Structure 1
Amino acid sequence: MTSIVIFGAGGRAGRAVTAEAQRRGVSVTGVVRDPAKHHDLTADRTVRGDLLDAGAIPDLVAGHDAVINAVSPASGPESLAELGALDEKYYVLAADALLHGLESVGVPRLIVIGLFANLTDASGNLLLDDPAQLPQQFRHFAVAHTAGLDRLRSVTTDVDWLVLTPPAQLDATAPRTGRYRTGGDVVAGSTLSYADLAVAVVDEIESPRHHRTRVSIFD
């Protein structure tokens, strides 16, 4: 049986990936900061963990086939104070911790849920630089997220990583269709359901098609 670890299992993306993985018979270990706050999680096992606790990651992920980073440092757009106070190195440190941890125990696959703001428009301009695409109060968060993507792209590692970047509009209530399209660094679509984001994630675990790159996904 395929087994995966999901960091951020308590969030919308993490819950969607858990549901899709279990739908396909994949065993899920969900990692959250405080399991006591997540009694409703359906993961096969829920454990305490922090993405930036680099020393603990090897033990958390050992023996699994893949790891998904679905962590958001804040609970949503309403948490502006948390996003504004985010360490600019957060996603760089997360990338380093995950790559080192997975490599040290031989876990081959890492999938990261990306951020639309570091896609570009048709002219090659980053969306995070366009206030019409990203409100200024979220720019700090987007810059930090982009630094994490840059770190993944710059390192030499045995880990087969992939960043899957959904569009700005992720719908938590839209039904699963099992369909999605993929693209590159240029924004190509505006909507996607969390359920179909999860389909894309689990597809890339069961039958990997993209390797050490970033792929945009949309409906």
Structure 2
Amino acid sequence: MKIGIIGATGHVGRFITNEALRRKHEVVGIVRNVPEETTPGLTYLQKDLFNLTSADIADFDVLVDSYNAPENEENLHVATMKHLVGILQDADTRLLVVGGAGSLYVDNKLQTKLYETDDFPADFKATAANMSAALDYLRNAKNVRWTYLSPSKDFLVNGARTGRYKVGQEQLLIGKYGKSEISMADYAIAMLDEIEEPEHQQQRFTVCAD
């Protein structure tokens, strides 16, 4: 497949890019600035997310959004989602979103989100709340093929690539050792598995270390 990855040089974006290249997909990194040290096999499209057009992404089978808003500009999560929904109207291109864990529910009645709990770090509440609002906007979008993948509570940049994970829907998952965590490497595997064999179209799902 031809896969465009917004934020391909970011933390999560790099893992998804490398996993897609490992699986021999044609990958285009959509970045504001092309790095001096480029990734072998990766083609770059140097463009700001807000300047992307329907024509730019028309020949992608999949567009992965791994955008992360800068500090004090967390409202851009909703703005970027609105822009992407706009350019993907009635397109065949699927949108896969790197989501947050903060919007996952911590109770069986699906009433309390993780970021609404007392022990959620205050520094991350604005990001989590805005990512949750972006997800709500996406859920209500019409004529867009989308999937939203939330990680576990602890998203480990240096975690092992095991190739194993368990899948949930709207609730925060806890692994067999009592931890809610997933490595970025295993998250990327889950993302590419969903790209290759879609099982959560028009849905949010989550993954946790098995």
Distance in 2, matches of 1:155 and 1:47, equals 26
Q: Match for 2:132 among 124, 127, 146?
A: 146
Aligned partner of 1:86 in structure 2 is 73
Equivalent residues in 2 for 1:138-177, closer than 5 Å: 138-157=124-143, 159-177=144-162
Aligned partner of 1:69 in structure 2 is 65
What do the CA deviations read for 1:66-90 (whole angstroms, capped 9, x no partner)?
A: 000011123xxxxxxx2xx2152x2
Are 1:103 and 2:125 counterparts? Answer: no
Q: Match for 1:211 among 195, 201, 205?
A: 201
Distance in 2, matches of 1:174 and 1:129, equals 26
Aligned partner of 1:47 in structure 2 is 45
Shift of 1:207: 0.9
Give, as a single letter, the amino acid of the residue that structure 1 aligns with 2:129.
V
Distance in 2, matches of 1:41 and 1:125, equals 41
* Structure with more of its chain in helix, by fraction: 1
Preserved contact between residue 18 and residue 42 of structure 1 (Cα < 8 Å) = no
Preserved contact between residue 91 and residue 148 of structure 1 (Cα < 8 Å) = yes
Give identity over the alignment, percent: 30
Shift of 1:100: 2.2
What do the CA deviations read for 1:13-46 (whole angstroms, capped 9, x no partner)?
A: 11101111111110110011111x3533345211
Distance in 1, matches of 2:58 and 2:142, equals 21
Per the normalisation by structure 1, the TM-score is 0.86
Shift of 1:5: 0.2
Greater mean deviation of Cα atoms: 122-131 or 159-168: 122-131
Are 1:117 and 2:102 counterparts? Answer: yes
Aligned partner of 2:56 in structure 1 is 60
Q: RMSD between aligned alpha carbons?
A: 1.7
Distance of aligned partners of 1:42 and 1:100 in 2 relative to their CA distance in 1, 3 Å threshold? farther
Preserved contact between residue 70 and residue 113 of structure 1 (Cα < 8 Å) = yes
Preserved contact between residue 69 and residue 77 of structure 2 (Cα < 8 Å) = no
Distance in 2, matches of 1:65 and 1:119, equals 28
Distance in 1, matches of 2:114 and 2:160, equals 27
Distance in 1, matches of 2:118 and 2:41, equals 38
Preserved contact between residue 68 and residue 77 of structure 2 (Cα < 8 Å) = no
User: What secondary structure is seen at the aligned counterpart in 2 of 1:209?
Assistant: coil
Give, as a single letter, the amino acid of the residue that structure 2 aligns with 1:62.
A
Per the normalisation by structure 2, the TM-score is 0.89
Give, as a single letter, the amino acid of the residue that structure 1 aligns with 2:98.
I
Find runs of 4+ consecutive structure 1 residues off by over 4 angstroms: none
Distance in 2, matches of 1:49 and 1:103, equals 20
Give, as a single letter, the amino acid of the residue that structure 2 aligns with 1:69.
D
> How many aligned residue pairs are there?
202
Aligned partner of 2:177 in structure 1 is none
User: What secondary structure is seen at the aligned counterpart in 2 of 1:4?
Assistant: strand
Are 1:197 and 2:162 counterparts? Answer: no
Distance of aligned partners of 1:41 and 1:71 in 2 relative to their CA distance in 1, 3 Å threshold? farther
Preserved contact between residue 92 and residue 145 of structure 2 (Cα < 8 Å) = no
Distance of aligned partners of 1:128 and 1:45 in 2 relative to their CA distance in 1, 3 Å threshold? same
